[in-house]
Amino acid sequence: MAKFALFYVGEPQFDSPEEGQAHQQEWMAWAQQLGEAAVNLGMPFSAPTRVNTDGSSQAQPKELSGMSIVQADDMDAAVEIAKGCPFVQFAPVDVVQIYEMGG
């Protein structure tokens, strides 16, 4: 099986703490139903700092809020996994295949 990263673009906005908790419960249920397809489902991100080619650095706006890694037979299967993720109800999810480096 191949590995795929699901990048969460943006952050869900909830009208109440209860709505946020309900979303979290949906997300946990989705994660649990993935079973062995789940490799690492919880990697939230902070806002990035970009290091430039000249060695300077500066804070960047937060565009990606986190990622998960899943296993699937192919890109189509990974996209189906992403479609089932509750996050996609609020913001886009980018799916990319992870290639293993030889060596």
Q: What percent of the chain has pLDDT over 90?
A: 81
Instruction: Indicate whether 93 belongs to any domain.
Output: yes
Which domain covers residue 90, as residue numbers?
A: 2-46+63-98
Residue 17 has pLDDT above 90, yes or no: yes
Residue 53 in any domain: the answer is no
Q: Is 78 helix (H, G, I), strand (E, B) or coil?
A: helix
pLDDT at 103: 62
Name the pTM for this structure.
Answer: 0.87
pLDDT tens-place string over residues 29-55:
999 999 999 999 888 999 999 999 999
Q: What is the CATH number of the domain that holds 75?
A: 3.30.70.1060
